[in-house]
Structure 1
Amino acid sequence: MKIKRLLAAVLSLAMGVSMMTACGSSDNSSKAEKDSSATENTQKHTNDPMTVTTAKDLVAQMKVGWSLGNTMDSTGGSGVDAETSWGNVETTKLMIDQVKDAGFNVFRLPVSWGTHMDENYTVDEAWMNRVQEIVDYGIDNGMFVILNTHHEEWYMPKKDRADKDIEQLKALWKQICDRFQGYDEHLIFEGVNEPRLRGEGNEWIGDAESREVVNQYAKAFVETVRASGGNNPNRCIMVTPYAASSSRQNMEALEVPQGDDKIIVSIHAYLPYSFALDTAGTDQYTSIDSSITTLFTDINEVFLSKGIPVIIGEFGSVNKANTEARVQCVKDYLSTAKQYGVPCCWWDNGTRIGNGENFGLLNRSEGGWYFPEIVDAIKETVNS
């Protein structure tokens, strides 16, 4: 997500505590039981047969996606407690069942890894196990699961930092690849999330140097996955332009690795911006906005026309007590995306009220949906 959610997390913390109690998230299982369950989980998909397919054909099987935001990407707390450190409750299989039942067949799992790595870049085993457990919630539902690296503070796309960044990026993805090498084509790896010059004036625009370093990240990521074992040489994977930006300049600057027909491009686009993302912007939406049509025209010209498939890895609109307008916007957005064969993943950060970016749809503590009208509109549009 574009504006990092410290304020939203603080505002939702008290609510999150009560939600955890209501959800019965406390676990009284013995350590031995937990260890046994973790071992079982790590051996669950050790050798799934893969249907080798091109990225274009794989993306054609996707309808619409849902992202588990502000959860495994949270960077507070310690160890596996980080999952709930931004106010959301512990993720359950029931939650992902509800997502699947609502018509979403893509489950994007954002994960922050840097706070769970030691000085040798080794990922904490308990964290890796928990990530795998949640991945399996989607895989066992027959969903496509996108696993990424999310709020990573250790990489910054500058020339003088590139070598060290790439060293850590390779070390991380080597471990992820090793753990998930037996999974079939339903598991998709996404190398980095919104790589950008964090905190600098040109953070979301970038410059020639930062765009080139992002290309180096993509190259290192692809090479690491392809050099790993199991099904990974044939796995469909995702690369992103600078900041996952939908600007024409940044999309055109992305160097998609050649000779690999299993590469997908990830773009993030909350449009129209004033309505969809700017919390101080308008709550009005009346007809299809030109920014939506421009987005997909550009995507088509830069990528699709060259046989490179695209997924909108993040989209959505914040709650401004304007459900009817949000319904119309999501219908326009997804119907346009459908024309171009571009699946889109709604960013659900679990919050629906307060001063932050309130993209929440799923009521994670009680079940059901905060805005069933929006979920119905999503399902109807992608299935029409």
Structure 2
Amino acid sequence: MSRLFGRLLVLALLVTGLSAAGPASAREPVRTPAQAVAAMQPGWNLGNTFDATGDDETSWGNPRVTRELLAGIRKQGFRSIRIPVTWGQHLSPDLVVDPAYLARVQEVVGWALDEGLYVMINIHHDSWQWIATMPTDHDNVLNRYNAIWTQVAAAFRDASPRLVLESVNEPQFWGSSGDTENYALLAELNTSFHRIVRGTGGGNGTRLLVLPTLHTNADQGRLDALAAEFATLNDPYLIATVHYYGYWPFSVNVAGGYRFDATAQADLLGTFDRLRTSFVNKGIPVILGEYGLLGFDRHTGTIEQGEKLKFFELFGHQARTSRITTMLWDNGQHFDRTAGAWRDTELFGQIASSWHTRSGTAAGDLLFVRRGVPVTAQTITLNPNGTGFTHVRLGRTTLRRGPDYQVSGDQLTLSAGLLTRLQGYGQRTSLSLRFSRGVPWRLDVVSFDTPLVSAATGTTAAFAVPTAFNGDQLATMTATYADGGNAGPHGWTPYKEFDRAFAPDYPAGAIKLTPEFFAEVTDGVPVTLTFVFWSGENVTYQVTRTGTSVTGTPA
């Protein structure tokens, strides 16, 4: 250990004290690494808090962490909590971590451990703030990285063995010569992290250490590179980690990926298959340190509710049967940290159920019945997922097999008589499809007419298409020129990104087109928009940008 790190270690011990995070309890159960990782399932991320790049844990909009919040998370069924920490802005020019900040992290870690949770802390957004420059600023980056882990490892050396340390979040490198160099740089960071933590002694001698792949990506080359690091380090107390946010077009709703279709499912299944083959089957535990859908960064409505639920049902099943521990990414969009409640209880119900069993789903959660025409029976495909279909409910009433519905194999047919009666309940009526286990599947029967759009004028900064949705729901939008070229962002596809290029505003009766969309539209050239609705209806519209002015008319 260099003189600099020796001084930092001594300083850390003097400032924080060896017992600041609580001594390891004699009553802690003795577990193998695989047993400990299994005991961490399921996990939750305290996102956008200590990882915020501002001066305070509240700078990204979340409230200050309380002991009650952590107790609440434990009551929701979580057994572990990942606390991402960004350290760079709390590091002095002589590479000393602000003692007050470190003490606050220790306080929250201690509360979580007191609640019986496993806890994982790391170096988080530093990965792109300054660690990414390692190819061109190698020594400074490595010194800074080592200084942080020297102090953090010393501060937590006698913490409970339920504290787990993660070397770096989503490692990436800019200006390198390619992946060969990237893998070498990441191995250097992980090896240095391993040496520093083990060198502090105490509980750190056998503490579980989590090492990521490059970009925490689960492509085979990334997994192979990390497996090689594990072989070199030859330490039984190491854990592999990746992140998973789904097949990208589905995860953000772009390029026509608005359904959890066979392609999106294959991406998920392939990820878990590679993790099993590369690590789990070889006795190396895996923590999937973040999961979710990238569209959630805007709001959870970017992906249609039923498609979203099917993703989480299959994800949870694959994680459980693969023996992989998962940690839900939550930057405040899921669990309301002030109210202590889930913002989308149906979503959390599906996630929590998947920790234990499978749930039946269906091809969709929307069934459209057109107004003003004779009603006919409609059929929807069930996905029992190994369960058995049992019955259908309307509120507390169990519907009658025969007069109300029929089931043949995986085909559920709702009778014309039932659908006619449901129209009297209003614009949207929810049925509950019940299976032998898991959570019920909500099927909304929607009375609709073809949506209508109207002419409008506006600017590139604020333009909206007046829309009478008539009970329908927008799925996606295409944008093309008369010559067949694609208009707007993501010019490689006619299908634009939901919420980034366009967004429905149902209460206002409008479809908004964003400045980002118009920024990549050719001036003076008409663009044909096709609004694709979940009923199967397509409505066309034409917009023309002239400077900052925009005109639009039904096509």
TM-score under structure 2 length normalisation: 0.56
Aligned to 1:301: 277
Secondary structure of residue in 1 paired with 2:86: coil
Once the two structures are superposed, the pairs formed by residues 1-384 of structure 1 within 5 Å of their partners are 43=20, 45-49=22-26, 51-76=29-54, 78=55, 82-152=56-126, 153-156=129-132, 158-197=134-173, 207-254=179-226, 255-256=229-230, 257-277=232-252, 282-285=257-260, 289-317=265-293, 318=296, 319-320=300-301, 322-350=304-332, 360-384=333-357
| Two-structure CA RMSD over aligned residues (Å) | 2.5
- Conserved 8 A contact 2:164-2:207: yes
CA distance in 2, matches of 1:48, 1:132: 17
Cα 1:213–1:285, aligned 2, differ >3 Å: closer, same or farther?
A: same
Q: Please tell me whether the aligned partners of residues 131 and 141 of structure 2 are also in contact (alpha carbons under 8 angstroms).
A: yes
Give distance in 2, aligned partners of 1:151 and 1:296. Answer: 26
| Larger fraction in helix | 1
Shift of 1:258: 3.2
* Separation (CA, whole Å) in 2 of partners of 1:366 and 1:67: 18
Secondary structure, counterpart of 2:301 in structure 1: coil
Q: Does the 8 A contact of 2:45 with 2:81 survive in 1?
A: yes
Cα offset for 1:39? 8.6
Q: Is the 8 A contact 1:74 1:86 kept in 2?
A: yes
- Residue 48 of structure 1 deviates from its aligned partner by 3.3
Look up the SS of the partner of 2:82 in the other structure.
Answer: strand
Work out the number of aligned pairs and report it.
330
2:134–2:141 Cα contact (<8 Å) kept: no
Cα offsets for 1:119-158 (capped at 9, x unmatched) = 1211101111111122123211111111111000221264
**Within 1, Cα distance between the matches of 2:134 and 2:16?**
40
Once the two structures are superposed, residues 213-246 of structure 1 have per-residue CA deviations (whole angstroms, 9 ceiling, x without a partner) of 0011010001111111320001011001111111
Q: Distance in 1 between matches of 2:255 and 2:348?
A: 24
C-alpha contact (below 8 Å) 2:20/2:106 kept by paired residues: no
Deviations, residues 169-192 of structure 1 (Å, cap 9, x unaligned): 222111111111121221100010
Give structure 2 stretches of 5+ with no counterpart.
1-14, 358-555
Give CA deviations for 1:60-93 in whole Å, capped at 9, x if unaligned.
22221110111110012x3xxx211112221222
Corresponding letter in the other structure for 2:220:
R
- SS at the partner of 1:268? strand
Unaligned runs of 5+ in 1: 1-37, 351-359
Quote the Cα distance in structure 2 between the aligned partners of 1:97 and 1:281. Answer: 41
Secondary structure (helix, strand or coil) at the match of 2:103 reads helix
Structure 1 counterpart SS, 2:78 = coil
Q: Distance in 2 between matches of 1:186 and 1:51?
A: 10
> What secondary structure does 2:310 align onto?
helix
Query: Bigger shift: 258-267 or 45-54?
Result: 45-54
1:182 and 1:147 map into 2 onto residues whose CA distance is 15
Preserved contact between residue 194 and residue 244 of structure 1 (Cα < 8 Å): yes
**Residues 1:103 and 1:283: Cα distance change in structure 2 (over 3 Å):** farther
- Of structures 1 and 2, the larger Rg is shown by 2
- Is the CA contact 1:274–1:282 (under 8 Å) kept in the aligned structure 2? yes
Matched residues in 2 for 1:268 and 1:166: separation? 24
Give 1:312 shift: 0.5
Q: Deviations over 1:248-292 (max 9, x none)?
A: 111211222432110001101111322234678744326770111
Scaled by the length of structure 1, what TM-score is found? Answer: 0.80
Distance, in Å, in 2 between the alignment partners of 1:178 and 1:40 is: 9
Residues in 1 aligned to 2:117 and 2:37: alpha-carbon distance in whole angstroms:
12
Residue type at the aligned position of 2:301: K
CA distance in 2, matches of 1:247, 1:372: 33
- More deviation, 366-375/286-295: 286-295
Name which structure has the greater RCO, CA cutoff 8 Å, separation 6+.
Answer: 1
The structure-2 alpha-carbon separation of the partners of 1:210 and 1:286, relative to structure 1 and needing over 3 Å to count, comes to closer
Distance 2:339 2:238 in 1: 38
Check 1:108–1:278 CA distance in 2 against 1; reply closer, same or farther (3 A cut). farther
- Contact 1:42 1:129 (C-alpha < 8 Å) held by counterparts: no
3-state SS of the aligned residue for 1:84? Answer: coil
Deviates more, 1:319-328 or 1:67-76: 319-328
Q: State which drifts further: 305-314 or 49-58.
A: 49-58
SS at match of 1:239: strand
**Structure 2 vs 1, CA of residues 123 and 343 (structure 1 numbering), >3 Å: closer, same or farther?**
same
The amino acid that maps onto 2:68 is L
Letter in 2 for 1:141: E
